[in-house]
Structure 1
Amino acid sequence: MGNQTSAPTSQSAETQREAGSSTVSAHSGSVINTPQLSGVNVGGNININTYVQPPASTEQTQHISPTTEENIQKCQADLKSYLKSQTKNLLQGTEEDGSQTQLNKSYTELYITEGGSGEVNHEHEVIELECTRSSSEEKKIHLNDIFEPLIKEDDPPQRVLTKGIAGIGKTVAVQKFTHDWAVGKANQTIEFIFPFTFRELNLIKDKDWSLTELIAYYFKVGDLEASDYSNKSILFIFDGLDESKLPLDIKKNKMCHSVTDTTTLDVLLTNLITGKLLHKASVWITSRPAAATKIPAKFIDRVTEVRGFNDEQKEEYFQRNVSDKDVAQKIFDHLQSKPLRSLYIMCHIPVFCWISATALQSLLTKTQKGELPKTVTEMYTHFLIVQTKRNNEKDYHEGETDTDVIMKLGKLAFEQLQKGNIIFYEDDLKSCQIDLTQAAVYSGVCTQIIRKEFGLHKQNIYSFIHLSIQEFLAALYVLETFIDNGKNLLSKVKVKVVSDKGELPLILLHKSAVDMALDSDYGQWDLFVRFLLGLSQVQNQELLQKFFQFKERPPQSNKMTITRIHEKIKKLSYTDKSINLFHCLNELGDQSLVEQVQKYQSSGDVSKISPAHWSALAYLLLVSTDDLDVFDLQKYHKSEEVLKRLLPVLRVAKTALLSDCNLVDSCCHNISSVLSFKSSRLEELDLSKNNLQDYGMTLLSDGLKSPNCKLQRLCLQDCGITKKGCQALASGLASNSSHLRELDLSNNRFLDEGLELLSRALNQCTLETLRLCECGLKGEPPASALNLNPSQLKNLDLSRNHFTEQAITQLCSFLKHPDCQLEKLGLFKTNLQTESVDALASALASNPSQLRELDLGGNSLGDGGVMKIAALLKDPNCKVDKLRLFKTNLQTESVDALASALASNPSQLRELDLGGNSLGDGGVMKIAALLKDPNCKVDKLRLVGCQFTHNGCAVLASSLKSNPGHLRVLDLTRNVLQDVGVENLSEFLAEPLCQLETLKLKCCMLTAACCRSLTFALSCSSALKELDLSFNHLTDQGLTLLADWLRKPQCRLEILRLPGCTDSSCESLASALTLNPSHLRELELSRTDSEGPGLERLSGLQRNSGYKLQKLVVKSTVATPTD
């Protein structure tokens, strides 16, 4: 509606004010438009044109006439009826071969997870599947709930992207979702669903459309008005983004706001996807991972991933889809066998289950004799045979055979594979001389392998039933072309191969295929080369000759090919390409490297194997059923070369233990690639005690920045990091800090300047644990790192830094924060002074209920300081259960105060360390009184070097005997207990309720005389796991008694440290461990010599995988005892 007004040339301020305050009333639904000008001088007439769309009244907006509502309901009913008929059957293979079944009867629930990355694949999707493991932390989501809000979400997602590799079930998921809606089973709040495929949209991409025209072209929606699309809940589904021929240029495409505006299909879709057109409508897009990034992440509310079938769903599939349940079980059992482990992994993809069921069901139900297929190629060869022979009637041209059609299909498969196409059209069929009439009537082998798309399509579109079938046929075509006429289709130089003997040396073709696969950018030829090599095998050639009359040829040895692949494996330091080469060797029947590695594994010694063997080990582990969640490099060999070879194994791990493995900065590049891997599962990474230095942090930060990085715990203790390394690390953490919960940078002297650089990144992290021990911090001002969220941080360790009082004051401010949730505080050797201890105790007292663990060791607290801490412990709200006061200069008065405080709240304390303090017998007796209390729950007691004798030990043992059920760890190292003290202690050890697991009596002036009572007491219980008797004078006599105890089945000891072992003692120990081999895993001996048959026998037990002994340490007796 337009309105034209003339304005006067001048107007007084008063008149303007009056105009601004004028009141105009509208009646009978009229619309008043009153333009006003103020504060302007106009020197002539002006025209003001306004265009106003009258707003609908509230009543009109909310009310729809009965006639309109009836029309909408009819349109919805028509659409549901149409979609119900289109989705009721599940197509397995091709529709025309009779493998249509009711969707609800054969549908097996798919495993769908929330989240995932849209990163482009850098390897073949099947190879990636073989080299990944699912995570127990994945959030499973039900198909019909993908548009429902999850826990902690208020609103449902409006735009969902679902990823999944080829054949994993994305299209079936769309079909099932649509069918459940159409029959009224689910998602009934959605009023209209319009499912499109990019395959069909490609065919009309050059024509302009309005949205209403596009919908009407494909769907029966009757007379829906344009306004109905805005008012109703609508879902648009676009299946197969990876197959789109549209540019989908969201940035450059123009705006489109109306459903009736005609524009290009590309513009129409981008506006719909971004919400500029029908902003209330929901959109669901499915795609293979490689194309998922076509849609910018900001336009996607939720990413889900179809993971196919888990192990239970695989079994369910075979039981549902194989009529004979015994045959179904035999198929499942065969696939689980070791030779077919790779194919069993592939059965995550539903179409692989169908291929396996088709091939094996035929073999198991017919009278054919012979072995079931053991390789992927054998399985596919039998599948081709079954599909080809399924129809007895052929509709080929006169003189045309199955072989002719297979070669035509193979040519089509190979040429399209070279172009990267998985869908093709009638012209592509014509170019390979595939008869369109033949394809249309669907008979013969052509119909079993090529699928003509049905459903909503207006034009014919074709594809192989799965990409792997296309790869198999392409490999067959290339091989048979080479055999038939000597033409190597993989060679850049197109020449025929000539042989004097009439034999065609397959090594030439194999060499081209292997090199092409290794040179490919993202592994697109990996499965192809497996098939090519597998089809070269005699048994597969015989099958092809028997069933398809392919040309016979004299058998050729594949030794040269095998040798060449071995050489390639030696040169490839890592990557999944080396793993694929082992799959190639498996297809060629060569298990030599794998068998050699298995021998090394059986012997328990893998430290001396060759680089190629390490790659073989990686392959073995990946195809095994072993739990690979924890990767410990020390189990194999401590070197960067081995790490590179085992990198594919590291990629499937959740925990990587790489501590003290002789790694240098260059290894961080490989580790960074693991963190960046789109299916990365790594949550814990320990790189401590490796000389990574600052450049290593620069390389590592690239991985930390990746959105795929899920790291929660990072340990970089003692890695040579300085201020420069902190800067690089801060850059990585700042970019992607959402997952990290624990960071350990201890023993890196980056000083306060380094911490200052880290502080901003740390503030962005939701850290729960931060360890900065011995980093050269002083605190001017170190507390910048303490600007962490006080409600998040649970564990802070600042030990072995020489802090100023100012630094401690800043720490106290953090502790006093009302939101402070700190549970563990480590301040060992931090130069605490009397004033600092007072401030610290006061800060902790202001919020006593959170702290659980306190370490103030290595600080000279004195009586005053300890009494302040004792007052804190006496508070009934105090929850400290671990108290470490090692070497804090406790005096008589402070011991009294501490014992009194602990006695007032005895049920709380679990761990007490008073070592390094001169308690003497009197002080130990006071602590013993605390332990006697039946409410006392102390399970770890450390009294190292407390200068007490057997007298104090007698009182201590008596207290423990009266309350024996709690203590698990007792460390009495470097006290003059003598034999009589151990005899007293043995009374506690012999108690039936005693559950002591660790006993340390190192350097306690013991002799052989105590061993009889000690071993007798220990024989009464099987709880003890660790015993340290080093630096005592036990002699052969005492060690023989200990060896007798080790022989007993009730002995469950895992760690043992012994002094003065002669070779005779070693013989006794070896004999004992031979009789009871199942527990001891660590043995430390001090000896005067390093040779002898007894020691050699112990070394043999360590090397033998039949024994648990993993660590044997032999020390010189001249060594001095340490804490």
Structure 2
Amino acid sequence: MKSDQSVGRIITFGDRPVQKKTCPSPEFSCLSMKSDQSVYRLITFSDDSTENRGVQREGSEITGRNMETSVQNLDYPSYPGDVPVGGDDTLHAFGDRMKQDDLATTSQTTLALSCHQKLKFTLGEKCQKRTEGILKTGSLVHLHEIYTELYIVEEGSDEANKEHEVSQIEAASRRRDTQEIPIKCNDILKHKDKVIRTVLTKGVAGIGKTVSVQKFILDWAEGTANQDVLFIFPLPFRKLNLIKEEKLSLVNLLHRFFTDTKNLKPEEFHHNKVLFIFDGLDECRLPLDFQNSESVSDVTQSASVDVLLTNLIKGKLLPSALIWITTRPAAADQIPADCINQVTEIRGFSDLQKEEYFRKRFREEHVAERIITHLKSSRSLYIMCHIPVFCWITGSVLERILGESEISEIPKTLTEMFTQFIVFQIKHSRKKYQEKGDVDHEEAREIILALGKLAFQQLEKGNLIFYEEDLIKCGIDVREASVYSGVCTQIFWEESGLHLGRVFSFVHLSAQEFLAALYVILSFIFKNKNVLQRQHFPTKSTLSDVLKCAVDKALESETGHLNLFLRFLSGLSLESNQTILQGLLSQRVSTSHNTEEIIKYIKDKTCETTPEKTINLFHCLNELNDHSLQQKVQSYVNKETIGGSCDPKFCPGQWSALAFIMLNSENQLEEFDLRRYHQSEGCLLRLLPVIRTCRNVILHKCNLTGKSCAALASALSSNSSCIRELDLSYNKLQDSGVKLLCDGLKSSQCKLEKLGLECCSLGKEGCTALTAALTSNPTHLQELNIKHNKPGNSGVKLLQTLVEDPQCKLDKLLID
């Protein structure tokens, strides 16, 4: 930079030799960096992928990716009023700034641009290629070729959802909210009404959070989006965990992970727009204490990693930085609500996006159509395809089966699908190892058992990411971990973390849950041991005892974290699935198991547990290929017994079976009228999962009480609720019942627009509760009917103030 020998020449850093071209403008010269005579000279730092380097575009000296407009609107507090122009490959954006007389400041700006270019190149190289499923295996393809836009929406709350993730997926598949406006991945940090600093993005495992981060970074690196950001620092929690014991400054932390920025001065982090991406909060094993952690405000001040993170997120450290955090829903509450400006949710693929995915993956149209048709025929499989990773799993299995000369039976249940997937992947990898003489049948089985034990123990703890100490506790020799990931190439994998240590994981939570269930089955078969109870059984005991124990444990779980595990365990108890496993285990599997016994046990439980947990029990019956209870209820539907009124002799289990049938029907209800079924509280409570999915709910004259109000409040406050109109007229709810209902109305998740409480014995206390609820959540309810009640003048005045309040949407109050 001290000489003038580069004047008028374009310098390309690519694979070709440096080409020189005389600039047609003779007046340019270079005297020093203090002058403005170097403005508009073009220096290209080519950051193209390896295979495209040195390929010149026609009519341009710029090689590789053409990153136009990549430093537009840079926010430099040191240079107020500047509006830079040009692209990443030019110094145009810094032209006016070069006029500054402060040589030190100018050097820092030049250095920032240089580091910016290097970081873009490095991150672009890392993010542009990937393979589906497990990284590092299979052939790499460009992300743009396989990326399918995900359905992302803004959420009104960062409240953690403790439901099992499959339950959330099933709820998402039924959610129909026309008011929700999808957000594009590249707009995740933007909002039309408010300034965004910190965004929390939720999504279940495998839904596409990490891929969305990758796509965001790639588009930034290619210069097509978010060019106001000069530096992006992706810091996954799984890697931050590896240095949890160290103390270092924020500057040193970034130098550790991003060597391209090692020459940046500390002040550059303040003078430039910086984005930190913390991917995988649910994988965090750092003690994030937002209340008691020490205060750090200097980027050169050393502290533990967890302290640096809490201060960054709170805005104490580097308050000008943008923060993007991704997490599974259950871990979202680790970040205080007052630290988050916007909450978004990735809901995976819509039905149209599922089809787009399979048509992209299978270029032969008839293959794609056959796969889509088959998946639609199995509602449970089709719903799971909301998860991109599950699309990859089903695609892998169905592609192999449809490609065989003798087509075997196509999987129709989750257990059948995963059994085929696991067996095929392990057989394929084992064959590779056997050719080398490394792994035999017995060793392969021991590897599966060890991985199953790891899956089971970590599932109980809620961990999806494991470290060397976790493997050691399961009896896995970490020196042989590469053999485990080799035998189970597409299932279990390891990732190095900058020479800091190794990180292990399964391809998806569902694969971990399947292996955990397989471990329980194999432990009983080979060791006559029920690992759920940590004890040995007498010889005469059966697999039914293990399954009953699993059912009880799953029902005891408040979060339902064992739901999918139980479904897999139920399916693996069938002889048909065990037959498939025999080839894998090279040993005949024999169990003394009465399938009818466990089916009866599950049916009995459907009458005893909550409606939500009952839904999973019906999924378990499906995995056991038992549809008798559903068929019995379906016969009533077919005979139009359900019309004026349903059979009052229906037991709770039969009402739940009806709910299961309705939820898994392709034709979703827009309106739910309880009078079509049975006008009773018992019927309402059992059909509550269905009620959540309907827009208009009519409970007129249904003999409901406060117990119903509490249940409805829970439904209204659920983030899966679709209810927009609710008519509770002519039920003796009284003030006590209305107060319970208000617990749901005040929730930020409640989107109710019309509420009917005509003739519900409503008094002043009920009106007070309604006023408080609508003050707390004023943006949705537009119409309230309280005719034929006794609210008194004071109660009416309270509600009238809401109508007059410009902040409240209520504009129609119906009273006598």
Q: TM-score scaled by structure 1?
A: 0.61
Q: Paired residue for 2:582? A: 545
Alignment of 1:337-356 (within 5 A): 337=377, 340-356=378-394
SS of corresponding position for 1:303: strand
> Using the alignment, how far apart are the partners of 1:505 and 1:599 within structure 2?
34
SS of corresponding position for 1:461: strand
- Is residue 381 from structure 1 mapped to residue 416 from structure 2 by the alignment? no
> Using the alignment, how far apart are the partners of 1:650 and 1:56 within structure 2?
57
Q: CA deviation at 1:556?
A: 3.5
> Using the alignment, how far apart are the partners of 1:759 and 1:247 within structure 2?
49
Whether the 8 Å contact between 2:718 and 2:749 is mirrored in structure 1 is yes
> Using the alignment, how far apart are the partners of 1:313 and 1:513 within structure 2?
35
- Is residue 300 from structure 1 mapped to residue 340 from structure 2 by the alignment? yes
Aligned pair in 2 of structure 1 residues 373, 755: CA closer, same or farther (>3 Å)? same
Q: Could you give the per-residue CA deviations for residues 24-66 of structure 1, whole angstroms, max 9, x where no partner exists? A: xxxxxxxxxxxxxxxxxxxxxxxxxxxxxxx999997999754
Q: Paired residue for 2:786? A: 745
Q: Paired residue for 1:592? A: 628
Aligned pair in 2 of structure 1 residues 384, 460: CA closer, same or farther (>3 Å)? same
- Is residue 564 from structure 1 mapped to residue 601 from structure 2 by the alignment? yes
- Shifted more, 506-515 versus 88-97: the winner is 88-97
User: Which residues of structure 1 form unaligned runs of 5+?
Assistant: 1-54, 775-1123
> Using the alignment, how far apart are the partners of 1:597 and 1:70 within structure 2?
73
Correspondent of 1:183 among 222, 226, 241: 222
Q: CA deviation at 1:480?
A: 1.4
SS of corresponding position for 1:351: helix
Q: Paired residue for 1:274? A: 314
Aligned pair in 2 of structure 1 residues 597, 368: CA closer, same or farther (>3 Å)? same
Partner amino acid, structure 1, of 2:449: M
Q: CA deviation at 1:402?
A: 2.6
Q: Could you give the per-residue CA deviations for residues 626-659 of structure 1, whole angstroms, max 9, x where no partner exists? A: 1233222122221111110101111222221111
Q: Paired residue for 1:1073? A: none
> Using the alignment, how far apart are the partners of 2:569 and 2:160 within structure 1?
26
Q: CA deviation at 1:454?
A: 5.0
- Is residue 462 from structure 1 mapped to residue 462 from structure 2 by the alignment? no
Q: CA deviation at 1:248?
A: 2.4
Q: Could you give the per-residue CA deviations for residues 101-133 of structure 1, whole angstroms, max 9, x where no partner exists? A: 221211111111122432233321112221342
Q: Paired residue for 1:522? A: 559
Aligned pair in 2 of structure 1 residues 56, 148: CA closer, same or farther (>3 Å)? closer
Whether the 8 Å contact between 1:93 and 1:99 is mirrored in structure 2 is no
* Percentage of matched positions with identical amino acids: 46
Correspondent of 2:689 among 648, 659, 664: 648
Whether the 8 Å contact between 1:683 and 1:712 is mirrored in structure 2 is yes
User: Which residues of structure 2 form unaligned runs of 5+?
Assistant: 1-76, 81-98
Whether the 8 Å contact between 1:93 and 1:465 is mirrored in structure 2 is yes
Q: CA deviation at 1:452?
A: 1.4
Correspondent of 1:359 among 397, 404, 427: 397
Higher relative contact order (CA 8 A, sep 6+): 2
> Using the alignment, how far apart are the partners of 1:118 and 1:737 within structure 2?
18
- Is residue 256 from structure 1 mapped to residue 296 from structure 2 by the alignment? yes
- Is residue 318 from structure 1 mapped to residue 358 from structure 2 by the alignment? yes
Aligned pair in 2 of structure 1 residues 82, 755: CA closer, same or farther (>3 Å)? same
Q: Paired residue for 2:728? A: 687
> Using the alignment, how far apart are the partners of 1:456 and 1:100 within structure 2?
21
Correspondent of 2:151 among 80, 100, 111: 111
Alignment of 1:1023-1038 (within 5 A): none
- Is residue 429 from structure 1 mapped to residue 471 from structure 2 by the alignment? yes
- Cα RMSD for the two superposed structures: 2.3
Q: Paired residue for 2:812? A: 770
> Using the alignment, how far apart are the partners of 2:78 and 2:552 within structure 1?
69
Q: CA deviation at 1:280?
A: 1.5
Whether the 8 Å contact between 2:485 and 2:492 is mirrored in structure 1 is no
Q: CA deviation at 1:456?
A: 5.8
Q: CA deviation at 1:554?
A: 5.5
> Using the alignment, how far apart are the partners of 2:263 and 2:325 within structure 1?
27
SS of corresponding position for 2:765: helix
Q: CA deviation at 1:557?
A: 3.2
Aligned pair in 2 of structure 1 residues 276, 297: CA closer, same or farther (>3 Å)? same
Q: Paired residue for 2:327? A: 287
- Is residue 732 from structure 1 mapped to residue 773 from structure 2 by the alignment? yes
Partner amino acid, structure 2, of 1:279: P
> Using the alignment, how far apart are the partners of 2:455 and 2:638 within structure 1?
44
> Using the alignment, how far apart are the partners of 1:513 and 1:633 within structure 2?
34
> Using the alignment, how far apart are the partners of 2:79 and 2:766 within structure 1?
65
Partner amino acid, structure 2, of 1:160: V
Whether the 8 Å contact between 2:721 and 2:750 is mirrored in structure 1 is yes
Q: Paired residue for 1:215? A: 254
Whether the 8 Å contact between 1:402 and 1:444 is mirrored in structure 2 is no
Whether the 8 Å contact between 1:746 and 1:771 is mirrored in structure 2 is no
Whether the 8 Å contact between 1:193 and 1:237 is mirrored in structure 2 is yes
SS of corresponding position for 1:203: helix
Q: Could you give the per-residue CA deviations for residues 348-403 of structure 1, whole angstroms, max 9, x where no partner exists? A: 11011011001111111012433101100000000012211223221645674432
Aligned pair in 2 of structure 1 residues 266, 437: CA closer, same or farther (>3 Å)? closer
SS of corresponding position for 1:95: coil
Alignment of 1:940-1089 (within 5 A): none
Partner amino acid, structure 2, of 1:352: F
Partner amino acid, structure 2, of 1:424: F
SS of corresponding position for 2:245: coil
Whether the 8 Å contact between 2:491 and 2:506 is mirrored in structure 1 is yes
Q: CA deviation at 1:746?
A: 0.7
Q: Paired residue for 2:208? A: 169
Partner amino acid, structure 2, of 1:730: T
Q: Could you give the per-residue CA deviations for residues 51-96 of structure 1, whole angstroms, max 9, x where no partner exists? A: xxxx999997999754333222211111111111211222322234
> Using the alignment, how far apart are the partners of 1:205 and 1:717 within structure 2?
59
Aligned pair in 2 of structure 1 residues 758, 421: CA closer, same or farther (>3 Å)? same
Q: Which has the larger radius of gyration?
A: 1
> Using the alignment, how far apart are the partners of 1:474 and 1:404 within structure 2?
14
> Using the alignment, how far apart are the partners of 1:524 and 1:131 within structure 2?
16
Q: CA deviation at 1:446?
A: 2.7
> Using the alignment, how far apart are the partners of 1:623 and 1:62 within structure 2?
69
Q: Give the number of aligned pairs.
A: 709
Aligned pair in 2 of structure 1 residues 467, 617: CA closer, same or farther (>3 Å)? same
- Is residue 661 from structure 1 mapped to residue 661 from structure 2 by the alignment? no
Q: CA deviation at 1:327?
A: 1.9
Q: Paired residue for 2:517? A: 475
Correspondent of 1:513 among 550, 555, 575: 550
Q: Paired residue for 1:601? A: 637
Whether the 8 Å contact between 2:542 and 2:591 is mirrored in structure 1 is no
Alignment of 1:148-167 (within 5 A): 148-150=190-192, 153=193, 156-167=195-206
Whether the 8 Å contact between 1:94 and 1:451 is mirrored in structure 2 is yes
Q: Could you give the per-residue CA deviations for residues 505-535 of structure 1, whole angstroms, max 9, x where no partner exists? A: 2221111010010001100000001000100
Whether the 8 Å contact between 2:802 and 2:810 is mirrored in structure 1 is no
SS of corresponding position for 1:348: coil
Aligned pair in 2 of structure 1 residues 63, 716: CA closer, same or farther (>3 Å)? farther
Partner amino acid, structure 2, of 1:469: A
Whether the 8 Å contact between 1:733 and 1:762 is mirrored in structure 2 is no
Q: TM-score scaled by structure 2?
A: 0.83
Aligned pair in 2 of structure 1 residues 603, 56: CA closer, same or farther (>3 Å)? closer
Aligned pair in 2 of structure 1 residues 456, 708: CA closer, same or farther (>3 Å)? farther
Aligned pair in 2 of structure 1 residues 511, 555: CA closer, same or farther (>3 Å)? closer
Partner amino acid, structure 2, of 1:176: K
> Using the alignment, how far apart are the partners of 2:779 and 2:723 within structure 1?
14
> Using the alignment, how far apart are the partners of 2:472 and 2:367 within structure 1?
41
Q: Paired residue for 2:8? A: none
Q: CA deviation at 1:692?
A: 0.8
Aligned pair in 2 of structure 1 residues 457, 687: CA closer, same or farther (>3 Å)? farther
Q: Paired residue for 2:138? A: 98
SS of corresponding position for 1:279: coil
- Is residue 620 from structure 1 mapped to residue 658 from structure 2 by the alignment? no
Whether the 8 Å contact between 1:651 and 1:680 is mirrored in structure 2 is yes
Aligned pair in 2 of structure 1 residues 297, 428: CA closer, same or farther (>3 Å)? closer
> Using the alignment, how far apart are the partners of 2:267 and 2:180 within structure 1?
41
Whether the 8 Å contact between 2:497 and 2:503 is mirrored in structure 1 is no
Partner amino acid, structure 1, of 2:228: T
Partner amino acid, structure 2, of 1:557: N
> Using the alignment, how far apart are the partners of 1:62 and 1:578 within structure 2?
71
